[in-house]
Structure 1
Amino acid sequence: MPRTEKLERVAELKRRIEGSAALLFAEYRGLTVSDITELRRALREADASLAVVKNTLMQRAAAEAGLELTELLSGPSAVAFVDGDAVGAAKKIKTATRQFPTLVLKGGYMEGQVLSADEANRLADLESREVMLSTIAGLLKGEIARAAATFVSAQSRFLSLLEAYKATVPAEPEAPEPEAPGDQAPEADAAAVGSSDEDGKE
């Protein structure tokens, strides 16, 4: 490979390293072009892209990106550049190893940590991000439902206690209704008439 082409390839690999959420490394010894194409297709479903790389160029690109990945770059190497959920991509590779026994998940890199082969395989055994979010949402929904039920129950008990308290308080006596002013008018008129008659007799 001409020097200029190598430099361009290193720059491209560095760009992809820096733009990825995670990297997964596999040894593809014994796989055919058709097998690798099938693996690429599966990884695209997990927001990851597979590239067959030369170890020396990948090492140089990783070094320029500030990473030390030499231990993961031995034998024929393919790198999955993960843009989405690393768990989902690891699951795709691990599933492919059952279909292609010579395919080996060698390790990975994510969140500033180099993953060994065992760690990368354990990553593949985790629940995917979507499943975990769904589980968390279900738990939160259950907690909200329980909290609402507790609130309604407490409110119901409070209303029952309030009604019981009201039943123990004696009712206040009703105040007498005041007499209307019009009811006393005839007596006043009669008194006035009597006084007038006495004045006439004198």
Structure 2
Amino acid sequence: MRKDEKNVVVTELQQKLGDASAFYLTDFTGLSVKQITEFRSRLRKQGVDYVVVKNTLAIRALDGLELPDIAGFFTGPTGVVIGREDAVAPAKVLADFAREFGDRPTVKVGVVDRKPFDPAQVRQLADMPPREVLLAQIAGGLQAPMARLAGGMSQLIAGFARAVDQLRQQKEEAGA
């Protein structure tokens, strides 16, 4: 690879890592080309990139980015799973694929919101419900007190209406 080609690779990777909400370094040893192609396909469906780049170029791409020191994890075959919008989706694809294919690829380290995540934390992240489910749970949690308040208010208004009706009946009976 010529120097200008290396600079292009470093710049592109630096841009992707800088824009990422999360990325995970993986060791893909033991996976066949067919399996890696399947892995890339699953990631692409979730809007996630998978980049295999020379370790020295990846370390150069980390320079200038406000990231934890993870350069020591760029040893051996390393693939980078890059999620732009969601940290959970790439972790889920990684975990699901690894379950199917003998714990391959293995996670070396993750970086979520500029903080390092060890492989156990990445597994915990993968076990979280999808973003839409979490948002629905939050909305349901916020809706429940409002529904109780609305129910209480309607009972209060109904009670007030009954009291006014009873008062009207008493006045009619007293006037008759």
RMSD between aligned alpha carbons? 2.2
Tell me whether 1:42 sits opposite 2:42 in the alignment: yes
Equivalence map 1:3-152=2 (5 Å): 3-67=3-67, 68-101=69-102, 102-152=104-154
Tell me the CA shift for residue 69 of structure 1: 1.8
Q: Classify 1:17/1:163 alpha carbon distance in 2 versus 1 (closer, same or farther; 3 Å).
A: same
Larger Rg: 1
Local SS of the residue matching 2:80: strand
Tell me the CA shift for residue 141 of structure 1: 4.0
Contact 2:46 2:90 in 1 (8 A): yes
Looking at structure 1, the residues matched to 84 and 151 of structure 2 have their Cα atoms a distance apart, in angstroms, of 42
Tell me the CA shift for residue 100 of structure 1: 2.0
Looking at structure 2, the residues matched to 142 and 161 of structure 1 have their Cα atoms a distance apart, in angstroms, of 29
Local SS of the residue matching 2:30: coil
Tell me the CA shift for residue 169 of structure 1: 4.8
Local SS of the residue matching 2:85: coil
Looking at structure 2, the residues matched to 152 and 66 of structure 1 have their Cα atoms a distance apart, in angstroms, of 54
Tell me the CA shift for residue 8 of structure 1: 1.4
Which ranges of structure 2 fall in alignment gaps of 5 or more residues? none
Local SS of the residue matching 2:51: strand
What residue number does 1:196 align with?
Answer: none
Local SS of the residue matching 2:63: helix
Contact 1:46 1:84 in 2 (8 A): no
Size of the alignment, in residue pairs? 174
TM-score in terms of structure 2 length: 0.87
Contact 2:110 2:118 in 1 (8 A): yes
Contact 1:106 1:120 in 2 (8 A): no
Contact 1:48 1:89 in 2 (8 A): yes
Looking at structure 2, the residues matched to 66 and 7 of structure 1 have their Cα atoms a distance apart, in angstroms, of 20
Instruction: Report 1 or 2 for greater relative contact order, CA contacts < 8 Å, sequence distance ≥ 6.
Output: 2
Identity %: 30
Looking at structure 2, the residues matched to 65 and 11 of structure 1 have their Cα atoms a distance apart, in angstroms, of 11
Looking at structure 2, the residues matched to 10 and 91 of structure 1 have their Cα atoms a distance apart, in angstroms, of 27
What residue number does 1:193 align with?
Answer: none
Which ranges of structure 1 fall in alignment gaps of 5 or more residues? 174-202
Q: Classify 1:33/1:55 alpha carbon distance in 2 versus 1 (closer, same or farther; 3 Å).
A: same
